[in-house]
Structure 1
Amino acid sequence: MMRIKILFLLIFFTSFLSVANENKVSKIDKLLTRYHQLEQFNGVALISYKGKVLFKKSYGKANFEWDINHTIEGKFKIASITKQFTAMLILQLVEQKKLKLDEKLIEYYPSYRADTGSKITIRQLLNHTSGLGNFFHLDGYKTVEARNPYTLDEFISKFCSEDLNFEPGTQFRYSNAGYTILGKVIEHVTGKPYSEVLTQQILKPLNMNNSGFNQQHSILNNRVTGYKRLLNRLEHPSFIDMSVPFSAGSMYSTAIDLYRWDRGLAEYKILSKPFTEVLYQVTEHRNYAAGWLVDNYPEARFGKALTRVHHGGMIPGFNANISRVLEDDTLVVLLDNTGGAPMTAITEKVLSIIYDKDYEEPELRLSQQLYKMIIEQGTSISIAWYKTFIAQHEGFSERQLIRFAYELVDANEQQAATAFLTLHAELNPKSIRAQKALNEIKQI
């Protein structure tokens, strides 16, 4: 009799979980469909819970010119998510006793600038406390983005070797230069190209057969095309030679392969537990560890904080986001090919559904609302509405407003662009950047 009761309870509990999961799947699909309808998500999503895939689906076009729909097998640029793979390779070398985290950079890259290379440690490169900058601001970098004429050593010498912004270990500053240097360290220690080490040490062991280092001139099945979304259309983004982001951002992958990556990490398939935990050890300066941001995620049902590790990636034409709740083996992967998708907001809402928490429904971005209003009701009404809005809510930042103004010019709404910049200049008379943008737009 007792066995029958236990069996009945198991059947009931299993059925209850199945219904609950079906309800969550329906809510997730409705959420992502709404984001797609609002032109804020165009791509692929995969969500797993307790290590099992709960949801995977694609939304929109992988190629708009050829009217090709996304599939779950689509290969996306994942940009800075590459950093966690680079961090993994470094930790593997540490576990193999070929590297020491607290050894100075100069020991593993002898030709690097000696005065700074003798101060920076490998650990500081991993957690962005090295003092190095981000190289985007340096003279000549924009030209190199489109066509990189340099070898790796030459690129590092020119763009990753500037004076330190602070004493290593004393502050945090996100640095692509630091992760580019880590790629060089991997090559120097192993004697092999970064792409080869990546394939041998991570991708093959985890059966990530649809991921790799982006060789843009090679033929790649299911390669997704990237786009830039403007107010009234899509266009192709600026071209970037993928040798430039290198070990800081040059990988491509699929949602399914990133699930395999998650399983490899959770099950310690390619790195022991003690060294895997180093990947999530943050510094006192920021919640950044080694290729992962780390924070607490409040689990609503039991009131306990869980550990969430996550990272985003952004490169012209693409957004990517991976978020993992470690104790529950929860994974959210989002891949988008129209640029500028609100990946953090979408991820937060998906997690809210999984953990039975309330969330706000998606809505048009402020720029979308205003553009729609300008088209339908004119500039004056739009300006009046925006004045009322910013009296009660946070409006555009200066950077966002300037971008919105130039997007309006692109959409042949120069009068509206001038009106919004004029309003901003009146409210912020000391704003030099906005005044400069206003002068430029008036001359167009």
Structure 2
Amino acid sequence: MKHFIFSSAFFLIFLFSEYSFCQINLGQSVDSLIRVTNPRFFNGVILVSKNGESIYEKTHGYSSLVKKISLKMEDQFLIGSISKQFTATLVLREIQAGHIQAHQTIGHYLPDFKQRWADSVTVQQLLNHTSGIIHWDNNLAYEPGSKFSYSNINYAILGAIIEKTSGQTYSVLTADLFEHCKMKSSTVPPGSGRKSNHKKLVKGHSESGNKKYVEENILNLLDSPMMGVPASGMISTAGDLAKWMSCLHNGELLADSTYQMMINHAVIRSHRWGEVKYADGIQVDHLDGITELSMSGYVPGFISTMIYYPKTKVSIVILENISPLSSDMNRVFYFHDQIRKMVRTSF
């Protein structure tokens, strides 16, 4: 019995020591990485968590490059296309409630929708970007369901559908998600003409052709039609996004059968990581035998990444308030991808 107790204690000490070593090694590696300036500089916040507990967090840079105000972990960022995951979750909750059927068309839920393809594209095809919709008023680019083509329009339409089927505004629906997951610093932008009260929302900066960064007008950006709030216009923090991943992937928002629907309706897309899959507002990969659930975002002035590893319950959130030129996405997400590799190696 004493031998068993000793062995168990030794095993626990070994596990704790190994975990501590991984944590220290990760911290040192990331600290060193974000100090480099080639191929660009890093300006943002990083949060790595395990089982909901922070194991590494760091701010590096400024909330305003002009005023040189240092970033804080509680600062708010525009999260770009990560917003799509919230919209997809709302759609799936409507499916779960019996208000939406994935195989039904846009026209079924939005009968006043005038586009010629309204009765040809289904909710499911909007969710996984296989709709063929590239522009609002043009013909479809291809037969719906035949291939993947990323488009914010898909999620703008989904936002309109869930407002119709639920009888609630998108703002109210997302506020319910935030409250459920205890995300106290997340919100959607105010409507056009309304004053923003996002006191912790950092300034966004877009790279110009001479590698200088120009400050974006946030209020104009939030109201811009290109944003499409259900597709790319949500505001959040690193801590709130870590809470979101824990909430979503541990069964607090969707029944298991609905969650399986979310991650299994995957289609292949080309990506800088290689051949990955996009499901319902989420990338689902099994590269090197590691299951990885992710989303990223790019809007003028901001880039973002969030990744969740269900086996280890490790999550990564990286938010930057600069947007390098989109002509080289490897450069844009250089730090995000390097940190991803470090976490995959450490845990």
Report the Cα distance in structure 1 between the residues aligned to 2:30 and 2:51, rounded to whole angstroms: 17
Report the Cα distance in structure 1 between the residues aligned to 2:345 and 2:184, rounded to whole angstroms: 35
1:116 Cα deviation after fit:
1.6
**Structure 1 equivalent of residue 106 of structure 2:** 105
Structure 2: gaps spanning 5 or more residues: 270-276, 326-330
Asked if the contact 1:170–1:285 (Cα under 8 Å) also holds between the matched residues in 2, the reply is no
**Structure 1 equivalent of residue 338 of structure 2:** 349
1:194 Cα deviation after fit:
0.8
Asked if the contact 1:282–1:294 (Cα under 8 Å) also holds between the matched residues in 2, the reply is no
The yes-or-no answer on 1:123 pairing with 2:106 is: no
**Structure 1 equivalent of residue 258 of structure 2:** 275
2:260 counterpart SS class? helix
1:316 Cα deviation after fit:
0.9
1:62 Cα deviation after fit:
0.2
**Structure 2 equivalent of residue 228 of structure 1:** 206
1:177-200 CA deviation, whole Å, 9 max, x = no partner? 111010000111111211111112
> What does 1:352-367 align with in structure 2 at a 5 Å threshold?
352-356=341-345
The yes-or-no answer on 1:306 pairing with 2:307 is: no
The yes-or-no answer on 1:327 pairing with 2:311 is: yes
Choose the corresponding residue for 2:285, options 290, 295, 303: 295
The yes-or-no answer on 1:197 pairing with 2:173 is: yes
The yes-or-no answer on 1:48 pairing with 2:31 is: no
1:17 Cα deviation after fit:
2.1
Q: Which moved more, 1:179-188 or 1:335-344?
A: 335-344
**Structure 1 equivalent of residue 182 of structure 2:** 207
Q: Give the direction of change, closer, same or farther, for the CA distance of 1:170–1:219 in structure 2 (3 Å limit).
A: same
Asked if the contact 1:82–1:250 (Cα under 8 Å) also holds between the matched residues in 2, the reply is yes
**Higher strand residue share:** 2
Kindly provide the amino acid, as one letter, of the partner of residue 292 in structure 2.
R
Structure 1: gaps spanning 5 or more residues: 136-159, 299-304, 358-444
Choose the corresponding residue for 2:221, options 234, 240, 245: 240
Asked if the contact 1:212–1:251 (Cα under 8 Å) also holds between the matched residues in 2, the reply is yes
**Structure 2 equivalent of residue 408 of structure 1:** none
Report the Cα distance in structure 2 between the residues aligned to 1:326 and 1:161, rounded to whole angstroms: 41
Kindly provide the amino acid, as one letter, of the partner of residue 26 in structure 2.
K
Between the two proteins, the alignment pairs up a number of residues equal to 324
Asked if the contact 1:321–1:343 (Cα under 8 Å) also holds between the matched residues in 2, the reply is no
Report the Cα distance in structure 1 between the residues aligned to 2:100 and 2:69, rounded to whole angstroms: 46
Q: Give the direction of change, closer, same or farther, for the CA distance of 1:31–1:164 in structure 2 (3 Å limit).
A: same
The yes-or-no answer on 1:166 pairing with 2:149 is: no
2:341 counterpart SS class? helix
Report the Cα distance in structure 2 between the residues aligned to 1:356 and 1:285, rounded to whole angstroms: 25
The yes-or-no answer on 1:57 pairing with 2:58 is: yes
1:176 Cα deviation after fit:
0.9
1:52 Cα deviation after fit:
3.3
2:345 counterpart SS class? coil
Q: Give the direction of change, closer, same or farther, for the CA distance of 1:40–1:161 in structure 2 (3 Å limit).
A: same
Asked if the contact 2:203–2:216 (Cα under 8 Å) also holds between the matched residues in 1, the reply is no
Q: Give the direction of change, closer, same or farther, for the CA distance of 1:227–1:348 in structure 2 (3 Å limit).
A: closer
Asked if the contact 1:95–1:275 (Cα under 8 Å) also holds between the matched residues in 2, the reply is yes
1:309 Cα deviation after fit:
2.1
Report the Cα distance in structure 1 between the residues aligned to 2:287 and 2:315, rounded to whole angstroms: 13
2:278 counterpart SS class? coil
Q: Give the direction of change, closer, same or farther, for the CA distance of 1:115–1:328 in structure 2 (3 Å limit).
A: same
Report the Cα distance in structure 1 between the residues aligned to 2:250 and 2:202, rounded to whole angstroms: 30
1:318 Cα deviation after fit:
0.8
Higher relative contact order (CA 8 A, sep 6+): 2
Asked if the contact 1:308–1:325 (Cα under 8 Å) also holds between the matched residues in 2, the reply is yes
Q: Give the direction of change, closer, same or farther, for the CA distance of 1:285–1:65 in structure 2 (3 Å limit).
A: closer
**Structure 1 equivalent of residue 273 of structure 2:** none
**Higher helix residue share:** 1
Report the Cα distance in structure 2 between the residues aligned to 1:43 and 1:285, rounded to whole angstroms: 30
Q: Give the direction of change, closer, same or farther, for the CA distance of 1:71–1:110 in structure 2 (3 Å limit).
A: same
Asked if the contact 1:334–1:343 (Cα under 8 Å) also holds between the matched residues in 2, the reply is no
Report the Cα distance in structure 2 between the residues aligned to 1:291 and 1:181, rounded to whole angstroms: 14
The yes-or-no answer on 1:187 pairing with 2:163 is: yes
**Structure 2 equivalent of residue 394 of structure 1:** none
1:355 counterpart SS class? helix
Q: Give the direction of change, closer, same or farther, for the CA distance of 1:13–1:125 in structure 2 (3 Å limit).
A: closer
Report the Cα distance in structure 1 between the residues aligned to 2:222 and 2:338, rounded to whole angstroms: 34
1:38-71 CA deviation, whole Å, 9 max, x = no partner? 6431011111235432211111000133321000
> What does 1:426-441 align with in structure 2 at a 5 Å threshold?
none
Report the Cα distance in structure 2 between the residues aligned to 1:58 and 1:112, rounded to whole angstroms: 45
1:126 Cα deviation after fit:
0.5
2:306 counterpart SS class? strand
Report the Cα distance in structure 2 between the residues aligned to 1:356 and 1:89, rounded to whole angstroms: 34
Structure of greater Rg: 1
1:8 Cα deviation after fit:
3.1
Identical pairs, percent: 27
> What does 1:377-388 align with in structure 2 at a 5 Å threshold?
none
**Structure 2 equivalent of residue 396 of structure 1:** none
CA RMSD of aligned residues (A): 2.1
Report the Cα distance in structure 2 between the residues aligned to 1:11 and 1:285, rounded to whole angstroms: 43
1:340 Cα deviation after fit:
1.8
1:285 Cα deviation after fit:
5.1
